[in-house]
Amino acid sequence: MRVLRTIVQTLFLAGVVAVMIRGAMGLTASTCETYCPFAGFVALYSLLRYKTYTCAMNELHVALFVSLVALTFVTKKSFCSWVCPLGTVQEWIGKAGRKVFGRYVRPPIAVDRILLNLKYVVLVLVLGLTWTVWQGHLGFRAYDPFYIIFTGFQGHETLWFSIFIGIGVLVAAFFVPMVWCRYLCPLSAVMDPMSRAGFLRLRRNPGLCTDCGICDEACPHGIPVATADEVTARNCTNCLECVEVCPEKGALELTLFGK
């Protein structure tokens, strides 16, 4: 499972790096943003209200966002742990941090619960600013680590503080796993309600589970898998790290429509 996921992650990461290199060489006008479904979500406003697109938003963004909605309903937030290059990079950095510290470093539960809601604030801010102050312009680029990092810190809207944001997210991911995805990513906030409904989800078999808690420790999103009968958590990305480390075969199983 882990090998399959790593292959898929590597393919998408390689794709976005290839776009970045080709862009730097002047071989394409495309950037990582060309394939970002979050731009599709932002574009819905102008598409539905004015029947037009602003800034660089276009029909591919919207089509990718619609596909993302379908994907999330079927497989929860698998986009984050299987597709998103920023998620991949953070995961790998987080695993390096785990090796150094011997475990994932997590904020206290009370703090974590508060931080988990920050991404909704970010989402409201991004939408609000885009359609008021920024007048339909994708002004979030300067603050978006996906854009900042995967344009090689050289995107045309990368400002001086953007570099600190990009590097800051990468460094923070070493200490707190998936820090951007968990606490700040506005696309993650959009996917949350759909992710709860995701048909492909993990189920714990209490008869086989020994309550060892290894799955809880392995989850980069800090989901308490060991105490759940079914993992419906909005943050579950179906990375299946918990299944990978589970010593009891069959104690954790992936179910589709409950079967």
Q: Which one of 17, 66, 170, 212 is in contact with another protein (CB under 8 A)?
A: 66
Segment interacting with another protein, rule: CB under 8 A, options 68-76, 88-96, 100-108, 145-153 = 68-76
Q: Which one of 59, 211, 229, 230 is in contact with another protein (CB under 8 A)?
A: 59
Q: Which one of 13, 39, 42, 83 is in contact with another protein (CB under 8 A)?
A: 83
Site string for another protein, 138-177 (x = CB under 8 A): ----------------------------------------
CB of 76 to another protein, least distance (A): 9
For the range 226-232, what are the long-range contacts, defined as Cβ-Cβ under 8 Å and sequence gap of 24 or more?
228/204, 229/203, 229/204, 230/201, 230/202, 230/203, 230/204, 230/255, 231/201, 231/202, 231/203, 231/204, 232/196, 232/201
Pull the structure tokens for residue 143: 């603050």
DSSP string, 8-21: HHHHHHHHHHHHHH
Q: Which one of 10, 52, 117, 154 is in contact with another protein (CB under 8 A)?
A: 52
Is 63 one of the binding residues for another protein (CB under 8 A)?
yes
Is 205 one of the binding residues for another protein (CB under 8 A)?
no
Is 240 one of the binding residues for another protein (CB under 8 A)?
yes
For the range 103-111, what are the long-range contacts, defined as Cβ-Cβ under 8 Å and sequence gap of 24 or more?
103/217, 104/177, 104/217, 104/220, 104/222, 105/175, 105/176, 105/177, 106/176, 106/177, 106/222, 107/176
Q: Which one of 118, 200, 214, 245 is in contact with another protein (CB under 8 A)?
A: 200
Pull the structure tokens for residue 160: 């001086």
Pairwise CA distance, residues 225 & 164, whole Å: 34
Which is closer to another protein, CB of 23 or CB of 97?
A: 23
Contact positions vs another protein (CB under 8 A): 1, 4-5, 8, 29, 47, 51-56, 58-60, 62-64, 66-68, 70-71, 74-75, 78-79, 82-83, 136-137, 200, 238, 240, 243, 253-256
